[in-house]
Structures are given as C-alpha cells and as structure tokens.
Amino acid sequence: MCGIVGVRSETGVSLGKLLEVLQGLQHRGQEASGFIGITVDGKEVGHRSFGLVSEVFKEYPKDLRLKVAIAHTRYSTHGESFKAENVQPFVGFIGGKMIALVHNGNLTNYFTLRESLENEGVIFRSTTDSEAILLLYAKETGTPQERLERLVKRVEGAWSILILDGEDLLAFRDPHGFRPLWMGRTGEEVWFASEDSALRSADIPPVKEVGIGEGVVVSKEVQGFQVETRRELPCSFELVYFARPDSHIFGRSVYKWRFLAGRILARHDDVKADVVVPVPDSGTIYAIGYSKESGLPFQMGLIRSHYAGRSFIQPSPDARRRTVRAKLFPVPSVISGKRIILIDDSLVRGTTMREILRMLKEVGAKEVHVRIGSPPVVSPCYFGIDTPTRQELAAARMDVPEIARFLEADSILYLPLDDFEAYLPNFCHSCFTGEYLVPVPEETNSP
C-alpha cells in the first residue's frame, strides 16, 4: 500500500505544500518517500530515499516553486523493501522529455508483463511492478489518453497512478477501482491525492473522487475521459483499516462505516461485560459504535504511544511483535477486575492481539472478549495490501474456537460475512471470502 500525490500549477506551488499533502498520507507507507518535478523556471528536480516524509526532505529547500510534480510514500507489497531502485517515483527520459510515475496498488500479471517487455528488449532497473507501467507507457505513442487505452489492455490488477509526462500531469484509476484517488483544486492549482483528507488538511478543497477507469490529463486545461470500466471492486479493507477515518473514499465516510460496523457487531452479541475497550487507534470508532448500540460504557483502557510505528506496517513479524509492548499501555484502573469487550478492526495473524490480551490479564482483567469489526481474513491480498501468506493468517489455519484459544480470549466474535457483504455491495471482499473475482497470479494462487 502506498500514498500518491500530484500537482500542476502554471504559477507554481512550493515543495513545502506538496510535502504537507504527502505527509497527510504517511499512514499509507512509512518505508520510503520521494518526489520528482519541474520547477517554474524549467529545472528538473527530485529526491527519494528511505524514511518518513519529515526525515527524507529535511535538508531540501521547501520554497522551491514547482510547476508540476508527483510524490510517493512507500509501503512495499512488490519488490524488496530496502532496495534503493524500488523507491518511487520512477523516472525515464524520451527525446529529452522526462516521464515519471507513482503507483498505488499491485499488478497481478507483473511477471508475465515483465517477461514480455524483456522479450521486446526493455530493460528494468527495479524489481517492482510499478516500473512495468512506466515502461509500457513510455513505449506507447500518441496522446496520454491513447497510451492509457492501449495500456489498459495489458495491465491487470490494482493501479491508481500519477504520471508526469513532460509538463503534463496524468491521473488514472484502474478499471476495477481497487484503490482510491481524489482530485482537488485551489485557484489554478490542480491536485491529486490518494485520500481527500490529505488534501483537506492542507487547505485544498477536494473536488471529486477520480472515477473507476477514469483518466484525467492536466496541462493548461483539465480534461477527463473514461478509458474502460470492468466489475467494480474497490477494496473493503481500505474502509476497515487502511484509510484515514476522516477520509471519504469510494463514496463513503470511513468514520461512518467503522461506527456502523461496531453497532452491527453489538447487535450480534449477548455476552455479559462491564466495559468496551478499543485497540487504539484502529479499533476506536468500532468501539464507539459498539458502546452506543449495547449501552456499555466506552473506556480507553489501552493507551497508545504516538512515538512507535504502526505494528501492521512493520515489514518483519519479529519487529511487529516487539513493537506491541512499546506501543500500547494498559490502564490498570480501567481494566482490573473487569469483564472487557476488546475491539479491533481486523484480526490478521493474531500475534499482536495475543500480546495485548496477555498485557490485559497481567493488569487484572477478569474476562476479555475479543470483538472484530470485520469478518475473518482467510486469504491473502494480491491487490496492494500486504496481508501475509495463507499459512500465516490466523483464520486460514484455525476455526473460531481455536483462534479464541490461541489468543487466550474468553470468547471471540467477528462481524458476520453476510452483513459485511450486504452493507458493502460492489466491493472487493476476496481476503474475507477466499474467492477472487479477477485472475490472480498462478504461482501464488494457493499460498
């Protein structure tokens, strides 16, 4: 999963403003950050490296005036995490013109595509699927729209992209619409960002969500066009976990979905408890909804350190486990002697949740009932969320009572799949159902 940002302005915008928007997407990727652009006086500029937005550009002049630029914050799902060549944006030159790309998503036919491009004599510099899109785009001729129309016949999977084509900016959301992409506008500046919240927090009014299979070219004019639409499959996991709660994606408020899911969960529950406690921050809104529906008091029985990384986003499992105790602190006065409803958005491996339960029991929790605001994750994602292999997924290896025993929980309840699908129709639910509605790579079909 990644965050992408783009801007075009005849009079120029500061690099500082571009980075402000990019920082608003930091939750989508913390491994590396980069930007590339052309200044108002025609200079090509760019910088990319490993680290957070606040670290990577520390020494870079923020008052640089950019006419056009794209930026990326990376969380690797394809290609080695710490290979410098895999840090975006990707850039190339044709006849002296710069072409660059940032990508959010995952291509499902990358290996086939790479092989066929290599057979055509194309050389890759990285091991990521994103570079294949740039190379394909660069090989094509014609207008950006014509190039995209041919690209869409060869590229499969999830790809929200921004392309810098000389001084033109091109935005595109794939024909299934897996990943979000928003357009914003202030004066003559035209902006794109993965989530509208990142635009709003930088005082850029969001104008519209880029449509499924829609392209937008920004030069002196703005021109939108429909390339192709297939079965709608926006990612339900974006609503469950990934997107910022103040975002509005796929036509829905992320906050409202999480609140409703908490309420639905409570309607299915009959356990006796004293208090509802979220796993912060991911479970907080679900817990508010659960508390509202059940009438049980909501308490912050776990405090989150804001100086430790998100555990899900850490690339190695060991790092994830180690960060749990550095990140979450139980509040004994809330927990001790109580029957706790402990709520989180999802349960993937279960190792983080097991550690949390141990911490709660250590401070005297009488009972802990785990409640999950989404159905069991039974299958991996091939479309840009770094879910682990099938063998590592708790719900792929164990049934529900076994998961409760593994977590050392007094009970566990998931949001029922039927409700999830009924409330979120026309979404991708593949990691919750195990059924893929578009072809996935053969060699990883049964991980």
Q: Tell me the catalytic residues.
A: 2
Alpha helices in 24-107 (DSSP H): 53-56
CA angle 76/81/86 to nearest 5° reads 85
Q: Which residues bind ligand SF4 (CB under 6 A)?
A: 178, 235-237, 381, 383, 385, 428-431
CB of 158 vs ligand SF4, minimal distance in Å: 7
Contact 293, 317 (CB under 8 A): no
CB of 434 vs ligand SF4, minimal distance in Å: 10
Cis check: omega of the bond before 89, within 30 degrees of 0: yes
Q: Which is nearer to ligand SF4, 265 or 385 (CB)?
A: 385
CB of 234 vs ligand SF4, minimal distance in Å: 8
DSSP 291: H
Contact 287, 344 (CB under 8 A): no
Rounded to whole angstroms, the Cα distance separating 74 from 347 reads 23
- The two counts, helices (H) then strands (E), for the chain are 16, 21
> Could you give phi then psi for residue 290, rounded to 5 degrees?
-65, -45
CB of 433 vs ligand SF4, minimal distance in Å: 9
The alpha-carbon radius of gyration of the chain (Å, integer) is: 22
Neighbours of 195 (CB within 10 A): 28
CB of 280 vs ligand SF4, minimal distance in Å: 22
Q: Which is nearer to ligand SF4, 331 or 396 (CB)?
A: 396
Q: Pull the structure tokens for residue 8.
A: 């075009």
CB of 119 vs ligand SF4, minimal distance in Å: 30
Q: Which residues pair with 73 in a beta bridge?
A: 3, 33
Q: Which is nearer to ligand SF4, 105 or 262 (CB)?
A: 105
Cβ partners under 8 Å of residue 349, min gap 6: 317, 320, 388, 392, 393, 394
Q: Do the strands 411-414 and 275-278 form a parallel or antiparallel pair, or are they unpaired?
A: unpaired
Q: Which is nearer to ligand SF4, 106 or 299 (CB)?
A: 106
Rounded to whole angstroms, the Cα distance separating 342 from 357 reads 9
Q: Which is nearer to ligand SF4, 16 or 434 (CB)?
A: 434
Cβ partners under 8 Å of residue 392, min gap 6: 317, 349
Q: Which is nearer to ligand SF4, 106 or 126 (CB)?
A: 106
